[in-house]
Amino acid sequence: MAETTQLTRHIESYVDSSSTPSHQVASLDAIVLLIKTNALTLEALVRELDMYLTSTDTLIRSRGILLLAEVLTRINSISLDSKTIHSLVGFFKERMADWKAVRGALVGCLALIRRKSVVGMVTGSDAKSITQSFLQHLQVQSLGLYDRKLCFELLDYLLEHHVDSIASLEEDLIFGICEAIDAEKDPECLMLAFHIVESLARLYPDPSGLLASFARDVFDLLEPYFPIHFTHQTSGDTHVQRDDLSRTLMSAFASTPVFEPFVIPLLLQKLSSSLHSAKIDSLQYLRVCSSKYGAERIAKYTGAIWSSLKDTLYTYLGEPDFSFTLAPTDGINFPKSEVVVEALSLLQQLIVQNSSQLVSLIIDDEDVNFITNSIASYEMYDTISVQEKKKLHAIGRILYISAKTSIPSCNAVFQSLFLRMMDKLGFSASNIDGLQNGGILASQSVNFGFLYLCIELLSGCRELVILSDEKRETYCTILHSSSAVLFNAFGSVLAVTADRCPSHPDIYIGVKGLQILAMFHLDVFPIPKSTFENILKKFMSIIIEDFGQTVLWNATLKALFHIGSFVQKFSESEKAMSYRSFVVDKIMEMLSLDDIALPFSLKVEALYDIGMTGMKNMLTILQAMEGAIFTNLSEVHSNLTSHETAVQLLECYSCKLLPWILKNGGAEEFVVQFAVDIWNQAGNCMDFNSPFEDKGLLDAMMKAMKVSVGCCSVESQNVTIQKAYSTLSSHTKFQLNDVGRLPLTSGKYDISPRDEGILLLFASVIIALRPKTHIPNIRGLLHLFIITLLKGVVPVAQALGSMLNKLTSKSNGAEKSDELTLEEALDIIFNTKIWFSSNNMLQIYNGSSNGSDIVLTDLCLGITNDRLLQSNAICGLSWIGKGLLLRGHEKIKDITMIFTECLISDRRKTSVPLVEGSLENTEKQKCDPLARKCATEAFHVLMSDAEDCLNRKFHATVRPLYKQRFFSSMMPIFLQLISRSDSLLSRSLLLRAFAHVMSDTPLIVILNEAKKLIPVLLDCLFMLTEDIQDKDILYGLLLVLSGMLTEKNGQEAVIENAHIIINGLIKLVDYPHKTLVRETAIQCLVALSELPHVRIYPLRTQVLQAIFKCLDDTKRSVRNEAVKCRQAWASIASSRSLRF
Amino acid sequence: MVSGLINENPVIYERKQRQQRSTQSLPADEYTVEPIDQQEIFDHIRDIKDPEHPYSLEELKVITEEAVEVDDQKSYVRVTFTPTVEHCSMATIIGLCLRVKLLRSLPPRYKVDIRVAPGSHATEAAVNKQLNDKERVAAALENPNLVDMVDECLAPSFD
């Protein structure tokens, strides 16, 4: 009983029109839950609902019926017996007559009719009775939007799933549907309505049957909707797009052939409309309808369609794009136009459907005949009149489509039009054989029009050849016999003579034509191999001789590339062979020849482009290139040009070829071999004057070495490093095995340029190694590196940093006992004693301390009196520090402490033992700003992303968020030191160092600390304005500030400090050395004008006065920003004088 | 309301393509001077809205780039504008907008001269005199209604 009262409460709450929608849904859910948990049967519910369902109060009745219907919708997975369903159907269908409760009736019918057979579905006779009741009682168009949608859904579902039962309704059904659809305007309802018509056509497919007699009436309803056009942008609640609706209407149009007499004339009429979308739609509909209606029905319209198609093409086809930028292989490239694309695909559809009729239309067309007959007069592109050009382009496209669509159409076009044009130009079919053997177009001037149409025809039939199996078709025979003529014709356009250089369209036509001829994919047919080879020869001669004609040269190279990539797909074919021998080999030959006039940079470009055609060609070319590089390297000492050549080749290798190889995979052996060969060469250089005397060449070699090693696997890297190490130990004076043990005499490490070169090359190998690669004699190398870095060799320091970055740490458990661990390496670096002989040559000594021993870190602190040594030590330490910082090692703290120590060292009294004899200089040395400036630079090295080393490309170990961590640990230290520093110099150094740290830290971290940082940041900005060399770091820092101003997080801190920020920025708006600084400062001021007026109003006059000067800035961009800024600041007060 | 407009149906012209200047400032030309030129002045005033239509002065061809004369050396600008109709009472407002916009956008060393194109306005001389009399301009800008109107017209040109 309790349950019943609960149920009554739910029902009351649902039916009560005054309760909120969410309440109603909640009570509905509760009732459904009761039924689903078997706490309530449907029968009981109906009985309980009884008085609501039959009430005379319409409001209660309609809510009651709706409740029952909604419940049914939600229990569609609970099975019901057929008797229940039948009686429910009976109830709901009768309710359709009750227009006040029609929503519930519709929802109920829909819920019932959508039931699946496993849970008990509506029988055929029930479906029919629902339909009958629907047709009898419902006036769809008089209902509201949602109810109409329900009606259409119901009808749609009935037509989809209960076809057999309702088919017998015949006329009533058709009339009812017509009535329902008539004048519907809502897109969503229309989607359903169009679909209903389509289903209706499927229901009565007989072309002379029932629907045929009503076709006119049905189509009259559909006709007004074409073309679909939304007057208002679709917004929010409707999700139907124009295209969806248009597609559905198209299926309705194409649903039955009985619409044909009405549809096609309508479409043809709309095709001539000026509305762009109407044109596109008509073309689309025509294509779909003609494929659905069949060839027979369409035949009588073909003529009309053809002529309007032709007109459309004349109007909408743009100017062809005579450029090789995109270089598609299918005919001439036209600017994309949807109308043209649709028109051509309609044409294609018509040709497929009714080839003979269309082809005869095309061949007998008067425009086509006009063009082909007067072809002889179109000699130059520029002399053809605009009208005729349009026709030429359009007919070209039509020929392209007809050649590519089907074999019969292609045959017909070749037989009639192609031969006719040949006749007009004087190569009749009879004398073709005579011309074939190299016969030239004797005294025949180049004919643009003919060649243009040929290109379209050829590219069309090229596509056909690829698809068709039968090769001995008529068109192939014709093409075969005239290939030599065509080759000569295209080739002659490109002839460059003293008095003639081909114009742009000519070049395009010539190159494109030859390219298409060369890209027929069979070896002998239809284009013979000899022609293919002639084409390659022709192109190569252009490459070698006509480099002065930039456009021609580039186009030819592109064409060669396309041909190469094409034949590469059939790599064993004869054409691929000829390509290799005529192009690839020739290009390689060119590389070694000095006597041809082709400039070297173009040679390299050609080499690269041809190499890109395929891996096989690329490898061949790489080999040739490697040969050339080494030949030139061995001659650098005697020959200046080979020096430049070598640099260019190395650049090309590392910047172009290597990335291509990496992208396309494989060929690693080759890259390793290349690296090893460079080492061989480096070793052999011993006997000559060194090639390393010039920086440019050395840089190029280092880069090539780094990139090649970087992309190899561990095994290959092991090979390379072994080779490198053996060269280093055998060809230089470095005594690697002894370096750690023996005290070194002075002079030994006075490095010769050649030794330094080899060392640098070695360093670049080390930089690029993977962490797993085994480095021989690490101890010896560490000692060597420490000493050489003190000489100021930066790449060595980078190599040392990379080594430390990748060594395995003890805590991670180094598996091999002979491997040096990170901790040991650090021990060597920081505890190895370096001592000085009396003449200041530094030496390393590992033995017992004798009082004057110092270590690397002491050098950084300036214990010696050699300031250069100190700077070098600091620079070296910074790279070591970077290696450690990236992997997140503890030691970085000590290193940064040393740097900060340097920065503030004038405050500190001497606390470390000094080298004897340098005492008197110490005070002066300690204050030396040069070395201390190096320490500020060290922070830049630590924080910035390096390109040369220690990045992902060179396999560095990078701990996530290392910059954030470093910043958070350094910030308190810096803030404290800055606030305490009492000397001007050390304060400025600290600020500068901190500026480096801040400008490279991700903005998000800075924002969190904005409050503390803003005063310091402004101090930094002000300090950096003093020296012109600081302009880049100044700009970087200003960007940090502007980030704070624009981000929400920073705003609060900004508001507090608005006063000092504005004052700081005002000083920057006339910073003379960098435009971007001024521009950004002004933009920051604009951002500040958005702050609460109370804060900024007092500063208004000041800002305006400062900006006033910027209106007369030397740079336009600054002036523009100033105008905006002035406006922003002037308008924050309501009253404004004329000047402001 | 519509009948109150002076030119009910003005001809709208296409906007000219905004020329992209090469703003790339190489280190070498960090100190070279880019003088204020015709295009820059035109860029300042082209987007000013017409007082009675939602179109810019450029779209109505009230001003064109050619109608701007500038001499950066002598700090002199002359803008000649063409009202859409001869008896346009808005001519003075347009002129005032042009003057205020240029005063706010150019450095103070400039002398700005605003003129109606010869023969394009019924009371040409009077308009010219009124626009170039600084006392009268200053007085006009004391009038809050006028200032509001001018600011409204200038608003789009600051974006």
Burial A242-269 (b: 16+ CB within 10 A, else e): eeebbbbbbebbbbbbbbbebbbebbbe
- Tokens 């930089």 correspond to A767
Look at residue A773 and tell me if it is in a domain: no
Highest mean pLDDT of the ranges A103-107, A495-499, A772-776, B6-10: A103-107
Lowest-pLDDT choice from A276-280, A341-345, A465-469: A465-469
Q: Would you state the torsion angle of the CA atoms of residues A952, A957, A959, A960, taken in this order, to the nearest 10 degrees? A: 20
Bin A404: left if φ > 0, else alpha if -120 < ψ < 50, else beta: alpha
Structure confidence by residue, pLDDT tens digits, B33-80: 888 988 899 999 988 988 888 888 888 889 988 899 999 899 999 999
What are the tens digits of pLDDT across the range A992-1037?
Answer: 999 999 998 988 888 888 888 888 998 898 888 888 888 889 999 9
A216 falls within a domain: yes
Judged by average pLDDT, the poorest of A612-626, A787-801, B19-33 is B19-33
Kindly report the backbone phi and psi dihedral angles of residue A534, in degrees, each rounded to the nearest multiple of 5, phi listed first: -60, -40
Task: Write out the two tokens for A991.
Answer: 């600020």
Handedness of CA A539, A543, A549, A551 (dihedral sign): positive
pLDDT score at A500: 64
- Is residue A73 assigned to a domain? yes
pLDDT at B22: 56
Is B46 within 8 Å of B63 (Cβ atoms)? yes
**Interchain proximity B21–A1116, CB inside 8 Å:** yes
Asked whether the bond before B107 is cis by omega within 30 degrees of 0, the reply is no
Q: What was the pLDDT predicted at A1125?
A: 92
Q: Using 50, 70 and 90 to split pLDDT, how confident is the model at A911?
A: very low
Are the beta carbons of B33 and A1075 separated by less than 8 Å? Answer: no
Give A1138 to chain B, closest Cα distance, Å. 7
Structure tokens at A566: 């094409």
Domain count of chain A? 2
**Cis amide linkage into residue A227, ω under 30° from 0:** yes
Beta-sheet pairing, B76-81 with B111-116: parallel
Token pair, residue A1119, equals 């002036």
Residue numbers in B near A1075 (CB within 8 A): 25, 30
Yes or no: say if A983 and A909 are a contact pair by the CB < 8 Å rule: no
The closest of A742, A1140, A920 to B104, measured between CA atoms, is A1140
Give the model's confidence band at A485: pLDDT under 50 very low, under 70 low, under 90 confident, else very high: confident
Distance of residue A1039 Cα from the nearest chain B Cα, in angstroms:
18
Q: pLDDT higher for A726 or A592? A: A726
Residue A623 lies in a domain: no
Does a structural domain hold residue A164? Answer: yes
Q: How many residues does the structure list for chain B?
A: 159
Shortest Cα distance from A1030 to chain B (angstroms)? 14
How many angstroms separate the CA atoms of A521 and A531, rounded?
13
Closest-CA residue in chain A for B154?
A1127
Q: Is A954's pLDDT higher than 60?
A: yes
B98: which chain A residues are within 8 Å (Cβ-Cβ)? none
Most A CBs within 10 Å, among B104, B136, B153, to test the A interface: B104
Q: Chain B interface residues facing chain A, Cβ-Cβ under 8 Å? A: 21, 23, 25, 30-34, 36, 40, 43-44, 100, 103-109, 137-138, 141, 147, 151, 158
Which pLDDT score is estimated for B113?
A: 92
Summarize pLDDT for A54-79 with one digit per residue, the tens.
888 888 888 889 999 999 898 888 88
Mean pLDDT within A535-564: 85
Contacts of B25 in chain A (CB under 8 A): 1075-1076, 1115, 1117
What is the rounded radius of gyration, in angstroms, for the C-alpha atoms of chain B? 16
The domain containing residue A36 runs over which residues?
Answer: 2-228+241-255
pLDDT of residue A1134: 56
What is the model's pLDDT at position A848?
39
Facing residue for A1075 by CB, picked from B25, B43, B107: B25
Interface contact flag, B34 A1139, Cβ < 8 Å: no
User: What's the pTM?
Assistant: 0.70
Give the chain A residue whose CA is nearest to the CA of B31: A1073
Does residue A1133 form part of some domain?
Answer: yes
Residue A14 half-sphere exposure toward CB, CA atoms < 13 A: 26
A1124 chain-B contacts, CB cut-off 8 A: 158
ipTM score of complex = 0.92
pLDDT at residue A336, rounded to an integer: 81
Interface test with B, best of A1115, A1121, A1125 (most B CBs within 10 A): A1115
CB neighbour list of residue A462: distance below 8 Å, 6 or more residues apart:
A329, A516, A519, A520
Best interface-test mutation with A: which of B135, B137, B158 has the largest number of A CBs within 10 A? B158
Within 8 A of A1119 by CB-CB distance, chain B residues are 36, 40
- A191 part of a folded domain: yes
State the smallest CA–CA distance between residue A1033 and chain B in angstroms.
15
Q: Are B56 and B46 in contact (CB under 8 A)?
A: yes
Cβ atoms of B80 and B120 within 8 Å: the answer is no
Question: Which chain A residue lies closest to B142 (C-alpha atoms)?
Answer: A1137
Residue in B21, B40, B158 closest to A1127 by CB: B158
The count of other CB atoms within 10 Å of the CB of residue A329 is 14
Judged by average pLDDT, the poorest of A528-537, A897-906, A1101-1110, B19-28 is B19-28
* Residue numbers in B near A1073 (CB within 8 A): 30
Chain B hits for A1112, Cβ within 8 Å: 107, 109
Chain B residues whose beta carbon lies within 8 Å of the beta carbon of residue A1123:
44, 104-105, 158
What is the band of A471 on the pLDDT scale with cuts at 50, 70, 90?
low
Nearest CB to A1117 within list B23, B30, B104: B23
Contact A970, A997 (CB under 8 A): yes
Domain with A1032 in it: what CATH number? 1.25.10.10
With contacts defined as CB-CB under 8 Å, which chain A residues touch B22? none
Residue in A with minimal Cα distance to B43:
A1120
Could you identify the residue written with the tokens 């004391």?
B142
pLDDT at A1084 over 90: yes
**Structure confidence at residue A679 (pLDDT):** 83
- Please state, as a whole number, how many other Cβ atoms lie within 10 Å of the Cβ of residue A431: 13
Helices first, then strands: H and E counts in chain B: 5, 3
Q: What is the dihedral of CA A792, A797, A799, A804, to 10 degrees?
A: 160
Q: A923-938: b or e for each residue (b if 16 or more CB lie within 10 Å)? A: eebbebeebbbbbbbb
Average pLDDT of chain A is 81
Indicate whether A650 belongs to any domain.
no
Cβ-based contacts of A1131 with chain B (< 8 Å): 151
* List of long-range contacts for A5-10, beta carbons under 8 Å, 24+ apart: A7/A31, A7/A34, A7/A40, A7/A45, A7/A48, A8/A48
Distance from CA of B8 to the nearest CA of A (A): 26
